[in-house]
Chain A
């Protein structure tokens, strides 16, 4: 009876250890462009704001969406996202781009757009 619990316990502990190990290995760090340069080529995510003034463009042949992102240290970098313009991109209060930084360009494989939920942020004008 006791040995069964011990064996079960060991299995669970080993499982969890391996899980944590792989968790740390597959993690995608929140970062900014300056850190991204250091981590050259590692997959990271950057939270920032779309630089509206610089516009955005979509290249339909390459299926790339290109825009400029200002990170939380106000550094601006070009982002090439492999995909079309994400839903809610224009109204997003901020954007999280997941990808790799290379030679001054952030190559993004995934973009999350954060909306002011249900437009609650919208100002009521009496």
Chain B
């Protein structure tokens, strides 16, 4: 059954490509001739239910561990807990395309219902459908339903299968054994946040299609007025999801991945940040159009740019063009997908921009005369600054494609710092100026209290350590924005919280920028070694490593670290474990969270004295004396097991070294074995027990060379405790303001969504 449904899904994929294509075609026809509408709808219904069915099939295959499918084999394994098992649905490229499609199918159901009521179904759903067509085409090329033997023909066998083996018969003589277990999920992804962060981001991506569809629809039918109010609730919720996805990713990076921070200006992070910033800029100019009827072209343009950048983001992260510039992993998806994504991107962009240029003469914005000091101008300025910030990030992120280089992260910090200042100032001012015009004198009167209060707080923060000029300016502007918004919040709370989404978001952004100042600029890190049961003081806290404890059925262990200051005591449990599959060490930090700051404890290693890491390397020439402290070493002879070395198996190298010291001499016989996993050294001590040598390798040159590693074993070392926990301890001031700011900002988006949705409902009724 499971073999059959995968093949069925592939066939269905082709069929849906055709039905979705037909649906777009008939929707376009139905703009002029209504009789095609029902055909278009059938196409849409079939496509949507088909996509849901395909997704259900993949889910079934994953839950039932059907490892004859490459996708399931490569991304999941038997030991994954149910939640993570579900997350393997979108862990790989193929599945993530399908997940995106699934989101689009569900959104499509609501969108069709919505547009039917407002009479825009044909033009909106045809544009929406184009995106679905492209993704279905991508899914045909990158199907999660490929079987193992299509990639590995050598898996096909003939003859009599072993008794009890789990096999699939491909033909009467050929069979394939189903792997008993899968390769599993990347250990870095085996985390609670893997179940939330990617889907939220994908929902945001998918939702961004809707404003685009409204913009194109307005250009098709030539009505540039109404689309913005229909688009606004969708845009608000899309910005919410995209923003939430980014914040969740930041939290994940900070809390468990141990990347040390929440944002690293990594291309993958940047590529989703850029469309989000544009969508936020668009939210502001859209409000202007709603209120004054102006900025129509700007809004159409920004909508097209925002969605194009969503696709561009996918292109950057899925086509492999940024392979070398990111900590995220990509696979080479193959040239077909690369090309498809590129065509997809170009089509979306050219369709939008082409239509806009074609209609540009016909679009007439309301031309109202307004003063320089007015809400319109402030909102426009805000959008311009946001767009500039996005452009800077876009330029830095795309740079590696066009040159054989990458940008230093300092580039982003440098440019966004002044922009953040401007954003804060405009953030505050935009609230106190009215629509139309306002007199500078009145404005000054409105902001004078905020100006004073923020200056006082800035002086206080100077004494708390914010001493750099750029940071003083930035923190001052943040306080300024917060005060103005807070004042507005108190004054207008009686209007109902629903109408104050903007205020919440504005306070959130200003708060999170203060959080960035504290946790970014004024974060300190110290590298320490904690010998077992020995107390060390860092940043005014006493740290004591009190031992290791096993958990997760003895597969992993955490280190217990006691953190004390005068009035409290906590035990931190950073984790370190060897992941079998990855054959590597996984490190998970632990954080002591306090209101004003975090203490971030990231484990680096455990040093026990058997595997001493303070090895010094030296090189001896054969028969040539080498002076090491008060000893003379002579490399006398060596032997390499050539035959075994040629065979590629395990082989050993032996060497003897004469040690002369104070008229006494001894011979050290050193030996090491090598196999494909690397070398295995056998340390040899000198007779006085003061030095320990290992043979690293022998270079067969004209004069053979011997590489030795040695460790000095001084007396006090034996007195040292066995275990030393090595770690980086960071202090992150004001980090909670960063998270709180993000939450407030996202809360504001939700309020905006509810408000804009109500407005649309009121118009309709």
Contacts and interface: CB of A to CB of B under 8 A. Distances in A.
B161 to A, nearest CB: 11
Contact of B177 (A45, A55, A58, A126): A126
B45 to A, nearest CB: 35
B324 A114 contact: yes
A30 B324 contact: yes
A124 B179 contact: yes
A40 interface: no
A22 B415 contact: yes
B584 A90 contact: yes
A96 B322 CA distance: 12
Interface string A59-95: 1110100000000000000000000110111110000
**A: contact size bracket:** 35 or more
A122 interface: yes
Interface string B550-577: 0000000000000000000000000000
Contacts of B326: 112
B726 A84 contact: yes
B583 A91 contact: yes
Nearest to B148: A124
A2 interface: no
A126 B148 CA distance: 10
B183 A122 contact: yes
Contact of A87 (B323, B411, B584, B728): B584
Nearest to A90: B584
B188 A88 contact: yes
Contacts of A63: 527, 604, 728
Given A27-B405, A53-B674, A119 B410 contact: no
A111 to B, nearest CB: 9
A88 B404 contact: no
A47 interface: yes
Which range holds the interface residue count of chain B? 35 or more
A126 B329 contact: no
B253 interface: no
A96 B726 CA distance: 25
Given A23-B411, A53-B674, A16 B73 contact: no
A47 B412 CA distance: 23
B584 A16 contact: no
A57 B710 CA distance: 13
A38 to B, nearest CB: 15
Interface stretch (B111-119, B340-348, B389-397): B389-397
B584 A118 contact: no
Contact of B407 (A12, A28, A59, A113): A28
A20 B391 CA distance: 11
B92 interface: yes
B351 interface: no
Nearest to A20: B395
Nearest to B327: A112
B157 interface: yes
Contacts of B324: 30, 45, 47, 96, 112, 114
Interface stretch (B202-210, B217-225, B607-615): B607-615
B582 A90 contact: yes
A28 B674 contact: no
A118 B408 contact: no
Contacts of B74: 118-120, 122
Contacts of A118: 74-75, 91-92, 183, 185-186, 329, 331
A58 B613 contact: yes
Contacts of B604: 58, 60, 63, 84
A117 interface: yes
A55 B674 CA distance: 11
Given A60-B726, A84-B726, A120-B331, A23 B395 contact: yes
Interface string A26-42: 11111000000000000
A52 B587 CA distance: 22
A61 B52 CA distance: 56
B195 to A, nearest CB: 16
Interface string B45-86: 000000000000000000000000010011100000000000
A28 B408 contact: yes
B152 interface: yes
B329 A23 contact: no
A26 B184 contact: no
Contacts of A8: 384
B252 to A, nearest CB: 14
A57 B674 contact: no
Nearest to B725: A60
Contact of A126 (B91, B154, B584): B154
A88 B323 CA distance: 16
Interface string B654-684: 0000000000000000000010001100000
Interface string B568-602: 00000000000001111111000000000000000
A105 interface: no
Contact of A19 (B177, B186, B392, B728): B392
A11 to B, nearest CB: 9
A65 to B, nearest CB: 9
Residue from B410, B604, B607 having most chain A Cβ neighbours under 10 A = B604
Nearest to B617: A57
B120 interface: no
Contacts of A90: 582-585
B14 interface: no
Contacts of A47: 324
A98 B188 CA distance: 22
13 contacts: A19-B392, A22-B415, A23-B395, A30-B405, A53-B678, A55-B696, A58-B605, A59-B613, A60-B605, A85-B585, A90-B584, A112-B327, A122-B183
Minimum-distance CB pairs A-B, first 7: A117-B329, A126-B155, A84-B604, A27-B405, A29-B405, A26-B411, A90-B584
Interface of B: 70, 73-75, 91-92, 148, 151-152, 154-155, 157, 176-177, 179, 183-186, 188, 258, 323-327, 329-331, 384, 388, 391-392, 395-396, 399, 403-408, 410-411, 414-415, 527, 529, 581-587, 604-605, 607, 613-615, 674, 678-679, 696-697, 724, 726, 728
